[in-house]
């Protein structure tokens, strides 16, 4: 597929890397010649220096033979205009990054008028992810499937829990609901375990379950249950605004600490039910004075990754709160892996997942297509995908034990008219099912791709 990405910032770079790894023909466009050169030198992609909101620049990028244009510059207006221009040039699919909260509120009204296929807001996506994590304090990562009917929960296996030092096959009796263990991360490796795999303490384990079964499982493991009742947000960014809005609407007490006085005044005008504190989030005396150590949840959303990491490590030792840390630099992944931070969120990676999900869904809309996609391993080597089965094929109506499935692949769940099936060898995939697949094989775009 031919794709033009306008904007070579952090989001554009992440998307370019993700889509290039899947074999698409990518052209990046940016006014900054150095940013374009950095990407074209790092990946096998084309680059054009110029204004992506100019037809001459898009023409140089061969817009007339392009399948998809993605506009992710720092300007919402520029992104929307770029997509309009691309549509006028005959491009069928366009995606714009829109960050302004006022624009986001109106996008459902104008999306079709503008001819947008999709609009993304990394900050809003990030805030939703954080809101979910604060509902399940024991989870370090939560992904949702089947419109929220099924959740993939990642935890760190506690010492002396019923999961420690047992085979996966021996855990089924302890799970009263439909719970499926999907992945185990141990050191620098990620496993898609079979029944003989032995779970060890401190493994990062992902399991698939309905929200109610997930809650029961977390309680049984000894994790706190129920939404955080008081949350402190360190930093007053757009993400902080979105997250505070979600939390307030759920009846949570919210306190935001932000060092920029003007930003504090803006937040106070828009978030009447939140407490806004003007101060330095790295001032430990201020944090103690504001009672941060007594909060149920703490979210580090400062602009500096290093400050977010440092303050999270400090609070990890001085608070029992659920701590969420925002890190934009994906290269920090290997560094922070051993620091025992609760939950790490990368807004740029979340945006990249959304784009990859949409592109996969474009590739096959007849037989089956990708409805949901997540990278679920900290090492970026395992995907969880949700397929909707739209036609009969060589995988439907046949017991799973008789299908020649690829190695390192698991059929984790079948959703049949709202009924969640934890599949065994005798189960079948049927027309209209949605099927959740966990795999180390990247680039799957059709349910038939699960076969050897």
CA-closest candidate to residue 208, choices 182, 226, 169, 184 = 182
**According to CATH, what is the number of the domain 127-220?**
3.30.70.1450
If you ran DSSP here, which 8-state letter would residue 370 be given? E
Write the DSSP assignment of 325-348 as a string of letters.
EE---GGGHHHHGGGT-SEEE-HH
Q: Domain 2-120, what fold?
A: Rossmann fold (3.40.50)
**According to CATH, what is the number of the domain 361-450?**
3.30.70.1450
Measured distance CA(349)–CA(380) in Å, rounded: 10
Q: Domain 230-345, what fold?
A: Rossmann fold (3.40.50)
Measured distance CA(380)–CA(234) in Å, rounded: 28
Domain with CATH 3.30.70.1450 in the chain: 127-220, 361-450
384, 374 in Cβ contact below 8 A? Answer: yes
How does 76-104 read in b/e, with b if 16+ C-beta sit within 10 Å?
Answer: bebbbbbbbbbbeeebebbbbbbbeeebb
Burial category of 376 from C-beta neighbours within 10 Å (exposed 0-12, middle 13-18, buried 19 and up): buried
Domain with CATH 3.40.50.720 in the chain: 2-120, 230-345
Q: So what's the pLDDT on residue 397?
A: 95
Write the DSSP assignment of 146-210 as a string of letters.
GGGTEEEEEEEPPTT-TTTTEEGGGSTTT--S--EEEEEEETTEEE---TTPEE-TT-EEEEEE-
- The answer to pTM > 0.85 is no
Render each residue's pLDDT in the chain as its tens digit; 452 residues.
Answer: 899 999 999 889 989 988 998 889 999 999 999 999 999 999 999 999 999 999 999 999 999 999 999 999 999 999 999 999 999 999 999 999 998 888 888 899 999 888 899 999 989 999 999 998 898 878 888 888 887 888 999 999 888 888 889 899 888 777 766 789 999 999 888 999 988 999 999 899 999 988 888 888 888 887 766 667 899 999 999 999 999 999 999 999 999 999 999 999 999 999 999 999 999 999 999 999 999 989 999 999 999 999 999 999 999 888 888 999 999 877 666 666 667 788 889 888 888 888 888 887 776 554 557 888 888 887 778 999 999 898 898 999 999 999 999 999 999 999 998 888 889 899 999 999 999 999 999 888 888 999 98
Longest dimension (CA), the chain: 65
């Amino acid at each position: 597929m031919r794709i033009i990405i306008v904007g070579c910032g952090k989001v554009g770079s992440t998307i370019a890397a993700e889509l290039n790894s899947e074999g698409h023909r990518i052209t990046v466009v940016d006014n900054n010649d150095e940013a374009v050169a950095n990407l074209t030198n790092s990946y096998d992609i084309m680059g054009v220096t110029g204004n992506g909101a100019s037809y001459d620049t898009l023409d140089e990028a061969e817009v007339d033979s392009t399948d998809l244009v993605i506009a992710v510059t720092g300007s919402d207006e520029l992104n929307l205009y770029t997509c309009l221009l691309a549509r006028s040039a005959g491009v069928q699919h366009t995606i714009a990054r829109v960050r302004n909260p006022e624009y986001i509120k109106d996008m459902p009204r104008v999306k079709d008028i503008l001819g947008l296929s999709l609009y993304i807001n990394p900050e809003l996506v990030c805030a939703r992810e954080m809101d979910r994590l604060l509902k399940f304090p024991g989870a370090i990562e939560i992904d949702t499937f089947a419109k929220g009917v099924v959740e993939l929960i990642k935890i760190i296996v506690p010492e002396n829990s019923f999961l420690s030092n047992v085979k996966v096959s021996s855990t089924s009796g302890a799970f009263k609901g439909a719970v499926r263990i999907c992945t185990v991360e141990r050191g620098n490796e990620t496993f898609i375990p079979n029944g003989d795999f032995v779970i060890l303490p401190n493994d990062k384990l992902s399991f698939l379950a309905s929200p109610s079964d997930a809650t029961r499982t977390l309680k049984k493991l000894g994790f706190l249950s129920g939404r955080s009742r008081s949350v402190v947000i360190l930093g007053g960014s757009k993400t902080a605004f979105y997250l505070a809005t979600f939390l307030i609407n759920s009846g949570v007490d919210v306190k935001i600490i932000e060092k920029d006085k003007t930003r504090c005044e803006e937040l106070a005008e828009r978030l009447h039910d939140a407490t806004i504190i003007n101060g330095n989030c790295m001032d430990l005396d201020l944090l103690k004075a504001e009672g941060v150590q007594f909060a149920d949840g703490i979210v580090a959303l400062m602009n500096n990754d290093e400050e977010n990491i440092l303050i999270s490590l400090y609070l990890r030792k001085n608070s029992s709160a659920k701590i969420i840390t925002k890190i934009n630099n994906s290269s920090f992944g290997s560094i922070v892996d051993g620091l025992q931070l609760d939950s790490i969120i990368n807004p740029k990676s979340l945006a990249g997942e959304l784009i990859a999900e949409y592109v996969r869904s474009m590739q096959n809309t007849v037989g089956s297509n990708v409805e949901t996609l997540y990278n679920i391993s900290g090492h970026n080597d395992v995907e969880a995908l949700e397929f909707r089965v739209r036609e009969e094929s060589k995988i439907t109506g046949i017991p799973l034990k008789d299908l020649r499935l690829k190695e390192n692949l698991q059929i984790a769940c079948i959703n049949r008219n709202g009924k969640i099936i934890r599949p065994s060898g005798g189960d079948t995939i049927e027309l209209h099912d949605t099927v959740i697949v966990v795999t180390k094989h990247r680039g799957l775009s059709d349910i038939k791709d699960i076969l050897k």
